[in-house]
Amino acid sequence: MEYKHPWIPITKTTEEEMLTSIGKKSLEDLFCNIPAQFRVKRNLDLPESHTEFDVTRRIQELAGKNMPASDGNVFLGSGVSMHYIPAVVPALSGRSEFVTSYTSYQPEISQGMLQALFEYQSLLAEILQIDVVNSSMYDMATAVAEAARMAARVNKKRTKFLVPGTINPEHYRVIHTYTEPAGIDVIRVDFDKSTGLMSLSDLESRLDESVAGVYIENPSYLGFIETQVDDIARLVHEKDSLFVAGVDVLSLGILRPPGQYDADIVVAEGQHLGSPVSYGGPLLGVFGCKNDRKLIYQMPGRLVGMTRTQDEPYEDGYVLTLSPREQHIRREKATSNICSNQALAAVTAAIYMSVLGPTGLETLGETIAQKSNYAAKRLGTLTGVKSPAIGEFIWKEFVVQFDNGITARQVHEDLLKQGIQGGKILSEEFPEMGESMLFCVTEIHSQKAIDTLVKAVEGIVTEGGAQ
């Protein structure tokens, strides 16, 4: 009786049929093109097989050497940050109905997913204080880039898009990738080197009839809060340009939402809303705009709408109201060729926001503000350290500058030796800030973890300054 391997369902008969179909007599014939001198003529030195228990124990042993980020010793952010995720969030978002759902092309069998996405849109519209939110983009970087193209489509014959000089460098590069083929010039606006605030005089000098839109980040990439939002909005709208605001949703429990300072388009990173930091993802692009037909019709991505039967008993129904993709009827006139709307990440965000609620969002915003400011001020007491190095008011992230001859790279490497992941090195991205790092502090960082960081930095700068 022929032996059949339990995990390899290819029998001798199947093998012979495969060889016959391709005109070969044996498996050796498949390798005839490989010279004999390059073939291994010995048995491979493979270890013996192990039981499942032995393999599991070995993997646990190796995993035990890792230093988990959940212990609060990671201070790296720069747009993607660690937050506590309530257990109910992955428990619900991990249900098979969500995980296995595909794009809602057939609304009659996708009502559950469509309703979940509608709730996502509604929750974010309320938090952002903006009228319309789509059912997500890839990430914040592509959302900003799409906003630039959208501004140029709305304001025809305008080919400039202004961004802050302190913009996230990765977002800046993505914007260029998206806008260059469309003939849109992306121009940086100067900023005050001590406060970080956008230079209103430089902005005003650049605003003319060729500017399609102006973008700000609040809080900024460098952590400071842009306090001139009303003045910026006024200047932008006086020139009939579109005002685009990039925000951190979690900050809106204590900061003014962009809808209150007259933003036309709003973008954000949704990773903070219940998704883990896992090798940089999954990310989620939040995108919203005012209830203006010319804006809505140029919005990229998808928009889920709700309708109701005319007669009682009323029944709600959900459908993709707006889906101007290239593979549909729009073809080359499509406003976006985005093929995935990050639906599972959007559902996760909706669950997370529902769990927090208004009070939870406010408490979380206050907690992050208190802890990040505490860390910034403690580091600022150290000799040779300036913290925060830019901005009067900061939230979650802040710049730390080293002035005693020590390099940010040295601080980074010495912190790693002590089991601490420091902030992102800014010296290459912002050389005008000297030897500096961008630290991130959220609700997961305890006072003990922050004090440990401060003590470690103190030791590094003291020893480095004495050399």
Domain for residue 35, yes or no? no
Domain termination site, one of 335, 353, 371: 353
Count up the domains in the chain and report the number: 2
Domain for residue 332, yes or no? yes
Domain for residue 3, yes or no? no
Half-sphere exposure of residue 291, counting CA atoms within 13 Å on the CB side? 4
User: CB within 8 A of 60, min separation 6: which ones?
Assistant: none
Give me the pLDDT at residue 250, please: 98
* Tokens at 53, concatenated: 């228990």
Give me the pLDDT at residue 70, please: 78
Give me the pLDDT at residue 338, please: 64
Domain for residue 310, yes or no? yes
Q: Are residues 247 and 342 in the same domain?
A: yes
Give the residue numbers spanning the domain of 157. 88-353
Q: Are residues 264 and 178 in the same domain?
A: yes
Domain for residue 33, yes or no? no
Q: Are residues 398 and 440 in the same domain?
A: yes
Give me the pLDDT at residue 165, please: 96
Q: Are residues 382 and 257 in the same domain?
A: no
Taking only Cα atoms into account, the Rg of the chain, rounded to an integer number of angstroms, comes to: 27
Dihedral class, residue 214 (left if φ above 0, else alpha if ψ from -120 to 50, else beta) = beta
Give me the pLDDT at residue 69, please: 82
Helix and strand totals (H; E) in the chain? 13, 13
Q: Are residues 182 and 280 in the same domain?
A: yes
CATH assignment at residue 331: 3.40.640.10
Domain termination site, one of 304, 329, 353: 353
d(CA 346, CA 363): 22
Q: Are residues 444 and 328 in the same domain?
A: no
Q: Are residues 122 and 223 in the same domain?
A: yes
Domain for residue 52, yes or no? no
Give me the pLDDT at residue 31, please: 87
Q: Are residues 255 and 362 in the same domain?
A: no
d(CA 408, CA 400): 9
Domain termination site, one of 300, 332, 353: 353
- Give the strand pairing for 211-217 and 160-164: parallel
**pTM for this prediction:** 0.86
Q: Are residues 406 and 425 in the same domain?
A: yes
Q: Are residues 231 and 106 in the same domain?
A: yes
CATH assignment at residue 434: 3.90.1150.10
Q: Cβ distance 383 to 68 under 8 Å?
A: no
Domain for residue 43, yes or no? no
Sign of CA dihedral 274, 278, 282, 285: positive
Which residues in the chain show pLDDT less than 70?
1-6, 280, 324-333, 336-341, 464-467
Give me the pLDDT at residue 464, please: 66
Q: Are residues 266 and 400 in the same domain?
A: no
Q: Are residues 282 and 206 in the same domain?
A: yes
Q: Residue 282: which of 354, 204, 341, 196 has the closest Cα?
A: 341
Number of Cβ within 10 Å of residue 161's Cβ equals: 27
Domain for residue 23, yes or no? no
